[in-house]
Amino acid sequence: MKLMYINGEFTKGMSQGEIEVSNPATEEVLDTVPRGTAEDIESAVRSGNEAYKSWRKMGANERANLLHEVASKIKSHQKAIVHLLTLEEGKPISENEEEVEWVASTFDYYAELGRHDRGRVIPPGESSQFNFILKEPYGVVGCIVPWNYPLMLLAWKVAPALAAGNTVVIKPSEVTPLTALYLAEHCFDGLPAGVVNVVTGFGMETGEPLVRHADVPVIAFTGSLATGQRIASHAAPMMKKLHLELGGKDATVIAEDADPEIAAKAVAYAALLNAGQVCTSTERVYIPQTKAKQFTEAIVEHVKSLRLGPGLEETTDIGPMVGDTYREKIESHVADARTRGANVLTGGQRPKGFDKGWYYEPTVLAGVDHTMLIMREETFGPAVPLMEYTSFEQAVELVNDTKYGLGAVLLSEDPKKIKTFFEEVKAGTIWINDPLTDNYAGPFGGMKYSGGARELGIEGLDTFRETKHVHWDFNMEDKDYWYPYHR
Ligand code: NAD
């Protein structure tokens, strides 16, 4: 069993039993972690608060150096982390290499951003006065992380939170807690005790007590809409700062001018990366009616060429899904689409020849419409539903016809279409011709039901800083605008 990390020590804490962590490619149990409790959250928050007293006051250079040290330890342990991540999450090793590179770079990036500024000075109303804005840490930040990018989404919260002077209690997903504990043991060990704490457990038993804890002023959460809504209902009355990164139903629009072969590759990557289990996965594809045949054939041909297999095999393009319940969801969406008249052009079933593992064939569907679950609800699996449009304006309306607003993709080199797209589409990230590529300095997050949080960039640091305005008059003297009004 791997242990939780509280106040710089590995412990079973007050856990009640264990949680098994499985390999999605083999269904074998990899290891176990403690099934944490509210008491463990209590200890972790206490240790975070104690550590906060000195961490918030630490000199900017010293703190930056400690965060760079975390980054360099991640780089030196990269091979082992990638291996463990592939075992517990399932996606191909090359995708995990990229994730771990991102994690290290996020710590390097925020190490520097954290010492760049602490606010600003503004012009005073009178010459005897001095006005400035302080950006201050909040205290202990609760970081609740999902399983699909267990380390990257942890780093996008933890690195800026620490750089801003907060301490953290991390609640990793019960599906993928091993890599977070590995980081605690090998990469966070140089930080003062209590600055980073990791409590493993189920959402209701550890996540919820963290959300409801009176001494945790910020909750940074990435996960499903339903969990986000529940968290908001607890945290809002406590006036907590809520940072919610929720689900999506992203669309890709292929414009008439796009090359079919290139569009097919872009769409497959956008829809099937991490077996479609990316919050910004393309889950709806709109193709022009005039060229529907060419685009459809190119997409089907390319998707058929992709290799399904265990993440650890170099030849694998698409790994297993992370668990059986997630596979059942895509199965129900495909079944619903079929019932309502959609055609499955390739895939649509569990692959033959795999006795074990939560695999599902990459699936292309045509003849879909917005009455179907697969075009309305988050599928979070390897599906590529194709819907025809008759005009570009109609395509943009279809893209916006969702409660979510995380990202959107356009494949085109037509400047008028591009401008219309980025101006009219209601989504936090717009990708033109290069889907799903992030940028450290580019804020990432959603609109509408995808939650309004932003990670990365200066916005990602400001999430973890409170604004304080200091108004300072050098002279303590009677002011003519004080009482009495009739002097
Ligand atoms: P989830 O909501 O089931 O769980 C996320 C985390 O919340 C886990 O650690 C879980 O234990 C915890 N949790 C569950 N119930 C809780 C509660 N009542 N109180 C506090 N914590 C609780 O999501 P998941 O299945 O792990 O992840 C997939 C979802 O995450 C998808 O909907 C996906 O779109 C979303 N996601 C969003 C982004 C983004 O940046 N917007 C990125 C990745 C994933």
Where residue 354 sits, what CATH number does that domain have? 3.40.309.10
Helices (H), 346-433: 373-376, 392-400, 415-424
Residue 193 has pLDDT above 90, yes or no: yes
Taking the CA of residue 444 as reference, the ligand 1 atom at the shortest distance is: 40
Average pLDDT on 245-268 reads 98
Q: Whose CA is nearest to atom 22 of ligand 1?
A: 203
Do 237 and 268 fall within a single domain?
Answer: no
Domain span including residue 371: 250-432
Q: What average pLDDT does the segment 243-262 reach?
A: 98
Q: Evaluate whether residue 440 is within a structural domain.
A: no
E strand or H helix at 32: strand 29-34
Q: Tell me the two tokens of residue 389.
A: 């449009």
- Measured from CB, residues less than 6 Å from any atom of ligand 1 are 144-148, 153, 171, 173-174, 202-204, 207-208, 211, 222-224, 227, 230-231, 245-248, 279, 378, 380, 406, 446, 450
pLDDT tens sequence across 130-184:
999 999 999 999 999 999 999 999 999 999 999 999 999 999 999 999 999 999 9
What whole-number distance in Å separates Cα of residue 273 and Cα of residue 85?
A: 15
Does 262 share its domain with 381? yes
Between the CA of 363 and the centroid of ligand 1 the distance, in Å, is: 24
Over residues 103-120, the mean pLDDT reads 97
Residue 240 maps to which CATH number? Answer: 3.40.605.10
Integer Cα distance of 225 and 246 in angstroms: 5
pLDDT tops 90 at residue 185: yes
Strands (E), 145-276: 167-171, 196-198, 218-222, 241-245, 250-254
Would you give the DSSP letter of residue 192? P
Domain identity same for 255 and 235: no
Beta-bridge partners for 299 = none
Helices (H), 170-259: 178-186, 208-212, 225-235
> Does residue 233 lie within any of the structural domains?
yes
Of all protein residues, the one whose alpha carbon is nearest to atom 20 of ligand 1 is 207
Residues 43 and 189 in one domain: yes
Given a cut of 90, is residue 398 above it in pLDDT?
Answer: yes
The per-residue pLDDT for range 459-478, each reduced to its tens digit, is: 999 999 999 999 999 999 99
C-alpha 224 to ligand 1 mean position (Å): 4
Judge if 163 and 143 occupy the same domain: yes
Do residues 43 and 56 both lie within one domain? yes
Number of domains in the chain: 2
Parallel, antiparallel, or unpaired for β 465-473 and 129-137?
antiparallel
Mutate to test the pocket of ligand 1, among 33, 224, 243, 403 (most ligand atoms within 8 A of CB): 224
pLDDT at 419: 98
- 164: CA distance to ligand 1 center in Å? 24
Q: Which residues of 255-390 form beta strands (DSSP E)?
A: 282-288, 343-346, 363-366, 383-389
Give me the count of residues in the chain.
Answer: 487
The verdict on 340 and 210 lying in the same domain is no
Each residue's pLDDT tens digit, 210-223: 999 999 999 999 99
Are residues 233 and 275 part of one domain?
A: no
112 lies in some domain: yes
Q: Quick one: CA torsion of 230, 232, 235, 237, rounded to 10 degrees?
A: -110
**Owner of token pair 């710590």:** 107
- The answer to whether residue 414 is domain-embedded is yes
| Residue 279 designated active-site | yes
- Name the nearest CA neighbour of 272 among 122, 402, 436, 129: 436
Mapping DSSP to helix (H, G, I), strand (E, B) and coil, where does residue 361 land? coil
% of the chain at pLDDT higher than 90? 100
Residue 482 counted as domain residue: no
Residue with structure tokens 């840490």? 137
Report whether pLDDT(454) > 90.
yes
- My answer on whether 328 and 238 are in the same domain is no
The structure tokens listed for 279 are 């919050």
* Known catalytic residue at 245: yes
pTM of the predicted protein model: 0.97
Query: Do the beta carbons of residue 248 and residue 271 sit within 8 Å?
Result: no
Share of the chain above pLDDT 70, in %: 100
Q: Please check the confidence at residue 487 and state whether its pLDDT lies above 90.
A: no
- Per-residue pLDDT, averaged over 440-452, amounts to 97
Task: State which of 4, 208, 212, 222 you would mutate to test the pocket of ligand 1, scoring each by most atoms of that ligand within 8 A of its C-beta.
Answer: 222
Helix axis angle for 60-76 and 78-89, nearest 10°, is 70
Tell me the pLDDT of the chain averaged across its residues: 98
Residue 192 located in a structural domain = yes
CB atoms under 10 Å from CB of 215, counted, come to: 12
Would you say residue 64 lies in a domain? yes
Residue of minimum CA distance from atom 28 in ligand 1:
223
Regarding whether 327 and 242 lie in a shared domain, the answer is: no
Of 42, 95, 99, 279, which is the active-site residue? 279
Q: Please check whether residues 457 and 416 belong to one and the same domain.
A: no
> CA nearest 215: which of 142, 310, 113, 315?
142
Domain membership of residue 487 (yes or no) is: no
Q: Whose CA is nearest to atom 10 of ligand 1?
A: 203
The answer for residues whose C-beta is within 8 angstroms of residue 296's C-beta and 6 or more apart is 287, 345, 364, 366, 386
Identify whether residues 71 and 25 lie together within a single domain: yes
Q: Tell me 351's DSSP state.
A: P
106, 144, 152, 429: which to mutate for ligand 1, most atoms within 8 A of CB? 144
Q: How far is the CA of 389 from the centre of ligand 1 (A)?
A: 33
Tell which residue, 431, 385, 430, has the closest CA to residue 271.
Answer: 385
DSSP 101-135: HHHHHHHHHHHHHHTT-SEEEE--SSTTEEEEEEE
How far, in Å, CA of 342 to CA of 336, rounded?
9
Instruction: Give the distance from CA 404 to its chain's centroid.
Output: 15
